Structure 1
Amino acid sequence: MSEARASGATIDERTEGGDPDRRRLRVAAIGDLHVKETDRHPWRDLFADVGRNAQALAIVGDLTDLGKVREAEILAEDMRSCSVPVVAVLGNHDYESGQVEEVSIILRQAGVHLLDGQAVEIEGLSFVGVKGFAGGFGRAMLGSFGEPAIKAMVAESVAEAMKLENGLRSVRTRRALVLLHYAPIAETVMGEPPEIFPFLGSSRLAETIDRFPVGAVIHGHAHRGAFEGRTPGGAPVYNVARHIPKPEGRPYALLEL
């Protein structure tokens, strides 16, 4: 399966012969929009820019700031300026107000492919997404031992990894992009305070990813993390939170798969 690479080609250059399964798709990737109720068209111009530079948009969670219906409505209004397909997963902020079902309906009605363990195919590229969860990385990953509250936290982390696995098993294309909110590796959260690393992601996600031929992984959540890393199995991972500097100098990253 082809691996993601930094995008420098124009749209007309992004084909490899006439085989649609070998055509590269340019994806704009961003996370942590944090749309607020008081915002006025915060992302309209950026979404229009995405349409000029990419063939799909992937948003990796925290689309809203407090998970409120009005915030989702404002985001949906701005999405009218986006001329390419939009794929997204939710983040922890989208759950804050207990209106996640209403928020999800608004986003889906706006045309967003909102993933929670599913896969969607766009021009030969499969997008597979889950929110993910916390739990820590490597030897410091939290184990299911002790109080019920700890076991419940680990169970949630395992459940998200299982949803991701089910989504990856459904892929029928040779190319796949994984969308997460939480990080699958510690490398792309470097820059955040070490004390909060366990709350920024989980190695269980990387363990799942490395059992499948994944072209690239994108996540957000760590606003002060690093842009690029790799899973232990070698899959490229990109922290595309809008706060992270990108090679192109835009709030979003451009990836070709």
Structure 2
Amino acid sequence: MTDGTKVTNIRIAAVSDLHCTKHSQGALAPLLQQAAQAADVLVMCGDLTDYGLPEEAHVLARELQGVRTPVVAVLGNHDFESGHQTEVTEILTTGGVTVLDGESVEVCGVGIAGIKGFCGGFGRYSLGPWGEAGTKAFVRETLDEALKLESALARLRTPQRLALLHYSPIRATVEGEPLEIFPFLGSSRLEEPLVRYPVSAVIHGHAHKGYPEGLLSNGVPVYNVALPLLRRLHPDGPHFRLIELPGAEA
């Protein structure tokens, strides 16, 4: 017996690794509009541009002009390549995209925390902060990203919470990539705040040849939504991942 209340699910369309170039005009708009029309929120998990150039960001902003649903994103390593990540962020923000870097936002009743993340390896094979200054700085970068994620997660008060990263927090979703590059695809240190402040789902990209889904140690689903991976797995589309989260009772 029901009391007549209805629960409307919140649909999240997710894609990553668009690698928009100066010549991508018209190439990405159909995908982005299709994803947005299927969902209440569109999220993009880094490598939005190919070389992190302002010109590329302007192209992507134009490709997003037909999108009417809220768009939330994080940057990826490619977006940092040319040292213009601040300008890239400003261009996308002006175009209506909420770009997170250690911040959180509530959209359609879902709390979203986002960081780029960093690398370092997984489990017992994670790189430790020992030895040369360069090695310690490398590990510190990952720790700083994990702390940013923890801070963003701690501010969320919504029943449904989502974490966006570019780098993976678990090994399972990078399986399929060459073993030699596993340490550069993510870090287990990014998983620690996700377990301390549980979320409904984790979404990332970066691993183009990885695996589409896995689980955190607490059973929370992790989705790899890199566009090259989605295109390979689903050649006929859709080339985005649709995730549904329970909404509030109406």
Query: Is the 8 Å Cα contact of residues 213 and 221 (structure 2) preserved in structure 1?
Result: yes
User: Partners in 2 of 1:68 and 1:91 — Cα distance?
Assistant: 13
Provide TM-score, normalisation by structure 1.
0.90
Aligned counterpart in structure 1 of residue 5 of structure 2, from 13, 17, 36: 17
Query: Is the 8 Å Cα contact of residues 114 and 164 (structure 2) preserved in structure 1?
Result: yes
Aligned length: 239
Query: Is the 8 Å Cα contact of residues 37 and 69 (structure 2) preserved in structure 1?
Result: no
- Which 4+ stretches in 1 moved above 4 angstroms? none
Aligned counterpart in structure 1 of residue 35 of structure 2, from 50, 53, 60: 50
Secondary structure of the 1:87 match is strand
The match for 1:80 is 65
The match for 2:248 is none
The match for 1:91 is 76
The match for 1:253 is 241
Secondary structure of the 2:119 match is coil
Q: Deviation string for 1:197-250 (max 9, x for gaps)?
A: 000000011111011121000000000000010011211000000112367931
The CA deviation at 1:17 is: 3.0
The match for 1:170 is 155
Letter in 1 for 2:237: G
The match for 2:140 is 155
User: Partners in 1 of 2:118 and 2:8 — Cα distance?
Assistant: 33
User: Partners in 2 of 1:240 and 1:169 — Cα distance?
Assistant: 25
Aligned counterpart in structure 2 of residue 218 of structure 1, from 184, 187, 203: 203
The CA deviation at 1:52 is: 2.0
Letter in 2 for 1:228: E
User: Partners in 1 of 2:148 and 2:29 — Cα distance?
Assistant: 32
Sequence identity, in percent? 49
Q: Is it true that 1:144 corresponds to 2:129 in the alignment?
A: yes
Aligned counterpart in structure 2 of residue 27 of structure 1, from 2, 6, 12: 12
Q: Unaligned stretches of 5+ in structure 1?
A: 1-15
Secondary structure of the 1:144 match is coil
Question: What's the Cα RMSD here?
Answer: 1.4
Aligned counterpart in structure 1 of residue 190 of structure 2, from 200, 205, 223: 205
User: Partners in 2 of 1:24 and 1:118 — Cα distance?
Assistant: 24
Query: Is the 8 Å Cα contact of residues 45 and 81 (structure 1) preserved in structure 2?
Result: no
Secondary structure of the 2:227 match is coil
Query: Is the 8 Å Cα contact of residues 41 and 74 (structure 1) preserved in structure 2?
Result: no
The match for 1:40 is 25
User: Partners in 2 of 1:66 and 1:75 — Cα distance?
Assistant: 13
